[in-house]
Each structure stands twice: as structure tokens, then as C-alpha cells.
């Protein structure tokens, strides 16, 4: 404990993080992290949440990072604790989520870089996570703890965000340090706003375009550019289409927002992109799931421009860009607004095109009367869920059909958010993401939608929900197993299924994890059932009996 200028290093770590606004930390305690666990559990103003698996703990921290645009924190022990966390860190890496992992380690005198394992459960974790972290370091000099913490936070949040990792041996955790001796990190000066980020060539293409479109992704949020982006859209009248992780940046009814693009997006954006003659990608990586396996989902005559802070995204095989910018997005958008203000006719020129796009958005629908039947169609369910949920809602969707149906059927309202696995579509993420969301926003309603297969991959965390009495309503789509995998098996291997067709008894699961249980099995009662579920306080597991033969709507093929 602290005494004047002296403090246990583990206590310094917690007080430092509390000082920069970290309010929640996720952990699974262990002997190798004993002093860290103790310090975080007793830090004033900070709450610790005990997960049942370290990978799930990282996903909980990822949820807080995505929602708050701040660093989420997880504590893991050495050896199997740290290696368990790697699965969650990979998810944070590909989804560009700023997460700080602090792992325990064996005593420094037992550490050996050249053997497979050392001490009791010791493992050279840093060498193994360098490829999936923006920064990673083992603390061997106690006086550098401030430096490594400050550098980690800086690296996690700046440019393209991502996970970072600090490994602290047990004896270093317990070491008394003198605060006057701590070395600080001096961050590099970030480039100030540049006035000429938008070249004449770009503006000439924009001025000559008749049907421009902006495709945007989560880079808009991570660069803190949402309000500036809205200003750009309002000023220019250019229609906008979101990538998967950008669907909650603008409300569905926003005038310039046409909807979600991509293979499992919405129909109106697909039609718009077939006509667009100038496509501007802002803060999105233009994945194959969005643009097609050969980037062929744009008009052949369209010019393609892309702005991204990660130069690797601009140089992908097959992505033939007419213009590419490695730039800080907020500065680029601000500069583009200035240029458009100098060309006042631009907004008027594109108003007719925007009207055409909004007509597509209004008229093209794929959820019709044919979806109103038993067994329940999950598209119809999500439509009803979307209609009944207010602005105080955070939606969380899992992999497979839950992900696709939510992305296509949710109509995000002002103030609502949505969390999912953006790059990997990983199974089992909805439960830990929902926990992280609820811990971060305890007054909001967390609506998690998972499948009868996906829920099994992190089923242990149902206890984390019940023991903490979190405001999580978990809807489990019971459609007879892995519906999206069955489709792949139908398409690629002649319908030869390799799934385990046994479905869990979700009533017994709910009882085992001490969660209230409810079943919904009639489409005619969906409105009243959803209203009833939303009226209840605390957690609930809801089994939704859906059509096992329902098809996932695909806008274009793989």
C-alpha cells in the first residue's frame, strides 16, 4: 500500500488507470496476477467484473472500448490465463478496438526466453502477441511502469486503434516504487490539421460526378468525426452507405443515409452502388464481404477513392483505387468541408440524385407479408424488435444468421447502438459483448441476439450475467443448429451436413445459470411478447422458436 511518495507498483497501475477515466476492469483472478487482482479489486471508483474465461473478459473490455471510444482493460494471470486471452485479443485486433491487457508473470529470476515454459505456469507471452498488438512489453524495471502505461494507452487509441499488452512479473507487481523516480512517456507530436489534404484531382472528380456515394465505416467513430461527418453530408447532399460496423453511426431515417451495403446488406444500397459514378470510402477497409470477391460490386465506370489511416488497407491485391489517401480522417473531412464551401453549387447539384436514392430506400423492401408465419421468421422478429425498442437500447448480435438478420432488419434509431463481431463474425461473442455493454451502461437496455449454436461457445458467461444482475435480455434463436453453416454446406458440398443436430434444452440452461426463462413461439404474439420482456427488470433468457429452413437473404454471391 502507499506511504507518502511510495506505492506498491500494482496499486500505481490501478490509480493511474482510474486517473485517466477507467471505471471498469474485467478479470479472471490467478496466482500469477495476485497483486494486480488485489489492487484492482480495491481501487476506489473502479468496478471489477469476474469473467469465467479470459477470452470472454477481453471481449467484455472490447465492448466498452467500442461503445466509449476509450481503452477497455482486462487482467489475466500468467501461462494459460494469458494464452486464453489471445482469442479475444485477435478479435480486438481485427476490429480495431483499443484494449489494454495486463497479464501477470512468474518471478523475474524464473523468466527464460529460450524455453517453452518456466517457473510455475510461466510463458513468454509478449513474444507471442507482438503480431496482434500495437504495443507489448514486459516490465522488468519498476521505474518504467508509468512510461509503459502511458505509451500503451497512446498506441491503443491513436491512428488505427487496437489492442496493447503489458506483462508484469509477480515480484515487480509487489515492488514498492517511489513516484518521484518514475519516467514518463513523451508522445510524438501528432500532425496538426493540414489545409491541403484534398487535392484538386479529387475535387475535379467530385465536381464532374453526377452520382457520387460515400461509403463509411467505424473509422468515422474512432476518429471522433461523427458530427463533422454529418456536416459533410448535409452540406454536400451526397448519399451515404455504411459498412457493417458503421450501421449505428447514423440513424436509419437520416436523410443522407441509404442503408447498409455488402453481401448481406440491404437492397437499396446495392441498387445505388450499381449507378454511382464516384465512390468515396471513408474510414472503412472495403472488405470482400462488402465489395465482392473481386471488388466488382461497383459500377464499371465508377471512380474509386479511399481515405484510411492504415496504408495497408489502401494497397490490397485487386483493389484498384483511382485515388488513395493515407490521412487522419477528421482532418480530411474538415478539409473537404472547406473545399465544398468554396464550391457552393455542389450540394444543389446532388440533391436530385439524393432524392433518387431515398426513393430506392423507401420503396425497396424485403420483409413483407410472406415473413409473417409460424415457425417464426427471424427477419420478422428483428423487425418487430426494432419497432418496439427505444433510444435507450444497445443491440448485440452474434455470428451467423443472428448477425446477418440484425444487419439487414434493424433500423437503428437516434441514440441506439449496435455491437457485433465486425471482421470475423465470430461465434459466441454476443454474451460477453452484452456484459461489457451492460457494465458500461447499466441504465440502458441490452438486447442480445444469438443462435442456438453460438450461445454454447461462451455459455459459461451466463453466470456472469445472473450473478451481477445485468440488464441483459438474451434472445436465443432456436432454428435447429447452425443455419448459416448449413447454407454453406448446401452451396459447396452438396448438402452433406456435419453438424451435431442436438439442441440444448434452454429452459434447463436458464435454470442452471439462475436466469428467468421465457419462450416465444408464435409470430402473432411478437408485439405483446416483446413489450412484456422489455417491461421486466434484470436479465432474462428468451428462447425464440424459428423456422429451421429459413434462408438468409444474400444481396450478391460470395
| pLDDT (tens digit per residue) in 279-291 | 999 999 999 999 9
- Percentage of residues in the chain having pLDDT higher than 70: 94
Confirm whether pTM is higher than 0.75: yes
* pLDDT one-digit tens code per residue, 497-546: 666 567 899 999 999 999 999 999 999 999 999 999 999 999 999 999 99
Rounded CA-CA distance 232/333 in Å is 7
Tell me the C-alpha to C-alpha distance, in Å, between residue 253 and each of 174, 250, 384, 543. Answer: 54, 8, 17, 30
Rounded CA-CA distance 284/281 in Å is 6
Residues 95, 422 contacting (CB under 8 angstroms): yes
- The dihedral through the CA atoms of 298, 304, 308, 313 has a sign that is positive
Residues 456, 426 contacting (CB under 8 angstroms): no
Model pLDDT, residue 498: 63
Cell numbers for 83, please give them: 494464452
Peptide bond into 375 cis (omega under 30): yes
Cell numbers for 555, please give them: 444481396
Tell me the pLDDT band of 365, cut-offs 50, 70 and 90.
confident
Model pLDDT, residue 446: 98
Question: What is the pLDDT averaged over residues 320-329?
Answer: 93
Cβ partners under 8 Å of residue 49, min gap 6: 24, 25, 26, 27, 57, 60, 435, 439, 464, 468
Model pLDDT, residue 225: 97
Tell me the C-alpha to C-alpha distance, in Å, between residue 63 and each of 299, 331, 502. Answer: 36, 27, 31
Tell me the pLDDT band of 486, cut-offs 50, 70 and 90.
low
* pLDDT one-digit tens code per residue, 209-220: 999 999 999 999
Rounded CA-CA distance 122/32 in Å is 9
Model pLDDT, residue 343: 83
Closest CA to 240 of 203, 279, 267: 279
Question: What is the pLDDT averaged over residues 112-116?
Answer: 91
Neighbours of 46 (CB within 10 A): 18
Rounded CA-CA distance 335/318 in Å is 29
Could you give the 3-state DSSP secondary structure of residue 18?
Answer: helix
Bridge-based pairing state of the strands 212-216 and 240-242: parallel
Model pLDDT, residue 87: 97
Q: How many residues belong to the chain?
A: 558
* pLDDT one-digit tens code per residue, 373-408: 999 999 999 999 999 999 999 999 999 999 999 999
Residues 449, 477 contacting (CB under 8 angstroms): yes
- The dihedral through the CA atoms of 422, 408, 251, 383 has a sign that is negative
Question: What is the pLDDT averaged over residues 41-55?
Answer: 97
Question: What is the pLDDT averaged over residues 337-354?
Answer: 91
Whose grid coordinates read 495476485? 34
Total H helices, total E strands in the chain: 23, 20
Neighbours of 468 (CB within 10 A): 17
- The dihedral through the CA atoms of 92, 97, 103, 109 has a sign that is positive
Could you give the 3-state DSSP secondary structure of residue 520?
Answer: strand
Separation of CA 501 from chain center: 30
Residue 187 has pLDDT above 80, yes or no: yes
Model pLDDT, residue 1: 45
Range picked from 101-110, 112-121, 341-350 for highest mean pLDDT: 101-110
Rounded CA-CA distance 58/61 in Å is 5
Tell me the C-alpha to C-alpha distance, in Å, between residue 450 and each of 245, 262, 424. Answer: 17, 21, 15
Q: What is the DSSP letter of 553?
A: P
Rounded CA-CA distance 531/542 in Å is 13
Cell numbers for 181, please give them: 523516480
- The dihedral through the CA atoms of 56, 74, 87, 125 has a sign that is negative
3-state SS, one letter per residue, for 284-349 = CCCCHHHHCCCCCCCCCCCEEEEEECCHHHHCCCCCCCCEEEECCHHHHHHHHHHHHHHCCHHHHH
As a dihedral over the C-alpha atoms of residue 19, residue 21, residue 24, residue 30, rounded to 10 degrees, the angle is -40
Rounded CA-CA distance 157/164 in Å is 10
Cβ partners under 8 Å of residue 17, min gap 6: 25, 46, 73, 100, 149
Amino acid at each position: 500500500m502507499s506511504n507518502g511518495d511510495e506505492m506498491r507498483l500494482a496499486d500505481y497501475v490501478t490509480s493511474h488507470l482510474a486517473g485517466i477515466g477507467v471505471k471498469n476492469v474485467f478479470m479472471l483472478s490467478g496466482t500469477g496476477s495476485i497483486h494486480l487482482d488485489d489492487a484492482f479489486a480495491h481501487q476506489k471508483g473502479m468496478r471489477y467484473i469476474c469473467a469465467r474465461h479470459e477470452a470472454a473478459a477481453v471481449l467484455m473490455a472490447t465492448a466498452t472500448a467500442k461503445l466509449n471510444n476509450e481503452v477497455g482493460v482486462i487482467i489475466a494471470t500468467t501461462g494459460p490465463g494469458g494464452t486464453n486471452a489471445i482469442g479475444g485479443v485477435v478479435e480486438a485486433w481485427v476490429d480495431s478496438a483499443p484494449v489494454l491487457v495486463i497479464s501477470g508473470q512468474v518471478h523475474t529470476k524464473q523468466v527464460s526466453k529460450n524455453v517453452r515454459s518456466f517457473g510455475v505456469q510461466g510463458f513468454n507471452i509478449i513474444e507471442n502477441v507482438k503480431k496482434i498488438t500495437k504495443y507489448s512489453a514486459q516490465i522488468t524495471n519498476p521505474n518504467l511502469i508509468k512510461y509503459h502505461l502511458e505509451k500503451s494507452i497512446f498506441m491503443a487509441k491513436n491512428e488505427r486503434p487496437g489492442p496493447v499488452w503489458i506483462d508484469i512479473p509477480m515480484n515487480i507487481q509487489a515492488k514498492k516504487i517511489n513516484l518521484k523516480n518514475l519516467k514518463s512517456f513523451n508522445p510524438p507530436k501528432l500532425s496538426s490539421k493540414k489545409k491541403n489534404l484534398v487535392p484538386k484531382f479529387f475535387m475535379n472528380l467530385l465536381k464532374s460526378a453526377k452520382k457520387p456515394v460515400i461509403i463509411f465505416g467505424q473509422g468515422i467513430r474512432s476518429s471522433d468525426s461523427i458530427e463533422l461527418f454529418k456536416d459533410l453530408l448535409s452540406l454536400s447532399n451526397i448519399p451515404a452507405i455504411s459498412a457493417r460496423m458503421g450501421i449505428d453511426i447514423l440513424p436509419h431515417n437520416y436523410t443522407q443515409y441509404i442503408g447498409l451495403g455488402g453481401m448481406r446488406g440491404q437492397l437499396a444500397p446495392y441498387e445505388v452502388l450499381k449507378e454511382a459514378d464516384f465512390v468515396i470510402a471513408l474510414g472503412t477497409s472495403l472488405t470482400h464481404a462488402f465489395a465482392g470477391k473481386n471488388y466488382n460490386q461497383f459500377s464499371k465506370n465508377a471512380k474509386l477513392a479511399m481515405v484510411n489511416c492504415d496504408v495497408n488497407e489502401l494497397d490490397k491485391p485487386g483493389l484498384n483505387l483511382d485515388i488513395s489517401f493515407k490521412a487522419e480522417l477528421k482532418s480530411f473531412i474538415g478539409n473537404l468541408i472547406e473545399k465544398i464551401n468554396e464550391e457552393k453549387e455542389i450540394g444543389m447539384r446532388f440533391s436530385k440524385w439524393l432524392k433518387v436514392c431515398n426513393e430506392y430506400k423507401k420503396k425497396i423492401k424485403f420483409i413483407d407479408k410472406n415473413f409473417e408465419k409460424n415457425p417464426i421468421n427471424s427477419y420478422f422478429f428483428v423487425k418487430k424488435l426494432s419497432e418496439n425498442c427505444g433510444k435507450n437500447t444497445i443491440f448485440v448480435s452474434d455470428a451467423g444468421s443472428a448477425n446477418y438478420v440484425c444487419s439487414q432488419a434493424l433500423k437503428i434509431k437516434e441514440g441506439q447502438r449496435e455491437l457485433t463481431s465486425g471482421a470475423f463474425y465470430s461465434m459466441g461473442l454476443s454474451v460477453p459483448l452484452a456484459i461489457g455493454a451492460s457494465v458500461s451502461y447499466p441504465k440502458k437496455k441490452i438486447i442480445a441476439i444469438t443462435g442456438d449454436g453460438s450461445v454454447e461457445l461462451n455459455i459459461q458467461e451466463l453466470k456472469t450475467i445472473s450473478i451481477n444482475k445485468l440488464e441483459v435480455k438474451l434472445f436465443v434463436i432456436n432454428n435447429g443448429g447452425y443455419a448459416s453453416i448449413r447454407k454453406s454446406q448446401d452451396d459447396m458440398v452438396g448438402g452433406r451436413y456435419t453438424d451435431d443436430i442436438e439442441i440444448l434444452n434452454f429452459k434447463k440452461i436458464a435454470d442452471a445459470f439462475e436466469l428467468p426463462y421465457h419462450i416465444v413461439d408464435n409470430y402473432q404474439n411478437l408485439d405483446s411478447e416483446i413489450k412484456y420482456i422489455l417491461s421486466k427488470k434484470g436479465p432474462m433468457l428468451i428462447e425464440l422458436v424459428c423456422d429451421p429452413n429459413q434462408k438468409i437473404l444474400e444481396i450478391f454471391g460470395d
